[in-house]
Amino acid sequence: MARKPLSRSGRFSGGPDPEVSAYSESVSYDRALAPHDLAGSIAHATMLAKSGLIPARDGARIVSGLRRLAREVKEGRFAWDPVLEDVHMNLEAALTRRVSAGARLHTARSRNDQVATGLRLWTRETCAGLGAAIAQLQAALVRLADRARLSRPSAGLPRGHLLPMPGYTHLQRAQPILAAHHVLAYVEMLERDRARFADCARRAGECPLGAGALAGTGLRIRRALTARLLGFRAPSANSMDAVSDRDFAAEFLFAAALTGVHLSRLAEDLILWSTVEFGFLALPESHTTGSSLMPQKRNPDVAELGRGKTGRLVGNLVALLTVLKGLPLAYNRDLQEDKEPLFDSARTLAATLSVFRGMLDGARFRPEACLRALADPSMLATELAEELVRRGTPFRAAHHAAGAAVRLAEERGVPLDRLSAADWRKAHPLFPSCAKTALDLRRALQRRDAVEGAPGPRQVEARLRVWRRRRAR
């Protein structure tokens, strides 16, 4: 007779159909939970012994056996058996074979609260790791922003000044900004992502152990002790919610998906900036590829792959939400489908954060191209309107007058700053005396220093100092 998994012992006369076993096994992927499952078992055995539910000597033997298993798993020496369904049954079976007292370990515990505990421990650890990886990527972005400076005086700006470049709305040139300001926008996005992972870890901080299958246990266990041993904030408050809750998993996947979306937006900017048409940025050769046909090509494959892998991160979130949406309380086997999306998103995001860090550390802005794109004075049309406002003109009238000046320049076929005095006067009577002042890039940038969060040179330098201090830790 085929060997039966532990979950079928007693109640069933034989093992499951081989096709069912292959269909329902999860040890091929949930073995990733092994360190966390073993940590939970060590805490549970310790609690059982301290509660007097198992002899202290048996508790010590169980803990010793579990620690030996933990070393084998860490060193890759543990032999996984797919017949035993999952990581939990594999480890318990191995313990029971080696330690006679191992049969006592499952006292006052179900696989339902066991897996929920292991998954929460994994989530908390993974959130911390991804938070650290996000911080490292932020540091690379800060370094890129700090490198985006003029190597020689240009456009009335001194050597070492933060590099100006066009800012865009609707993918149309809009107003002058500083390249560092654009790059730091992603640092701010990633800081929110880092905080979301920290918040997810905090919300995963309740311990399900002791909830049993759904109704706890009649044995007098000490749940607060188990929670404390595992570093949880407290035991979960409702046994049914404890075994069926996967909100923390959905939150993790949302945080991963939104981080991926931010990385995808960054990738899109890098891809556009590195084209011949823009030419604002050079990506490192080590993070680009060639063409099998066209010798001249250098393609931004790393950025494109990061943009593409975001689809997996979003899809994993949708997959879990779809699993959860129709489940009655309490535990259902559908919840086995929570792990592969989690593990895949964690691997995908960690790899993307790491490879993007290397790409950004090798990237360099091209000041000449950025300044060339700023040569069109119509990008300072808003400055024209604001100069009129400073002289008492209502904004809507000032906006209309600046638009009229732009239209006249287009009709004349000349740059905006080459309009005649008569044409300036035609757009607005005050323009002949103030247009030159308004259409000055250096002054336009300096005026932004008056507003917090704007791309003024002093504002951006100050924010760079803040982020250098934060990410130097």
pLDDT at residue 187 above 90?
A: yes
Express each pLDDT in 56-106 by its tens digit. Answer: 999 999 999 999 999 999 999 999 999 898 999 999 999 999 999 999 999
Express each pLDDT in 126-160 by its tens digit. Answer: 999 999 999 999 999 999 999 999 999 999 999 99
pLDDT at residue 296, rounded to an integer:
87
Express each pLDDT in 34-48 by its tens digit. Answer: 999 999 999 999 999
CATH dotted code for 26-107: 1.10.275.10
CA dihedral 296, 302, 306, 312 (to 10 degrees): 90
Express each pLDDT in 428-451 by its tens digit. Answer: 999 999 999 999 999 999 999 999
pLDDT at residue 473 above 70?
A: no
**170 in catalytic set:** yes
Express each pLDDT in 246-263 by its tens digit. Answer: 999 999 999 999 999 999
The second-level CATH assignment, the architecture, of 113-372 is Up-down Bundle (1.20)
pLDDT at residue 184, rounded to an integer:
98
pLDDT at residue 1, rounded to an integer:
36
pLDDT at residue 464, rounded to an integer:
97
pTM of the model: 0.94
Q: Which of 151, 291, 420, 433 is catalytic?
A: 291
Residues 6 or more apart whose CB falls under 8 angstroms from that of 310 comprise: 257, 260, 261, 263, 264
The second-level CATH assignment, the architecture, of 374-472 is Orthogonal Bundle (1.10)
pLDDT at residue 16, rounded to an integer:
76
pLDDT at residue 6 above 60?
A: no
Q: What is the mean pLDDT of the chain?
A: 95
CB atoms within 10 A of CB 117: 32
- The lowest-confidence range among 19-33, 41-55, 74-88, 375-389 is 19-33
Domain range list for the chain: 26-107, 113-372, 374-472
Backbone angles phi, psi at 456, to 5 degrees: -75, 145
Exposed / middle / buried, residue 237 (Cβ in 10 Å: 0-12, 13-18, 19+): exposed
User: Is the sign of the CA dihedral 213, 214, 218, 220 positive or negative?
Assistant: positive
Q: Which of 9, 13, 170, 292 is catalytic?
A: 170
